[in-house]
Amino acid sequence: MKREDPGSPEIDWRMSVKDALTAPDRGSREAYKLRRLALRYFIEGNILFWKGFNREPLRCLSDTEAQKAL
């Protein structure tokens, strides 16, 4: 899966969640924790969303996108 913000030097936190949703690793304990965390997320149109408390979709932002939104 390719990164959405290729000019960004920092690692995007969303990539590990996307990877857990698309190709789950069944081996380690850390992979298990990540799969449990990923239950509240879903991907639609290659964009990661978080399921809010009322099940409304909330778009996950990178650090750069969050700074622009503020």
How does pLDDT run along the chain (70 residues), one tens digit per residue? Answer: 444 555 555 678 788 788 777 776 667 787 788 778 888 888 898 888 998 888 889 999 888 888 898 8
Predicted confidence at residue 68, as pLDDT, reads 92
* Contact assessment for residue 13 and residue 4, using Cβ atoms and an 8 Å cutoff: no
| pLDDT computed for residue 57 by the predictor | 92
pTM above 0.85, yes or no: no
For residue 14, how many other CB atoms are within 10 A of its CB?
Answer: 19
Taking the domains of the chain in order of start, what are their residue ranges? 14-69
Cβ atoms of residues 60 and 41 within 8 Å:
yes
pLDDT (0 to 100) of residue 18? 81
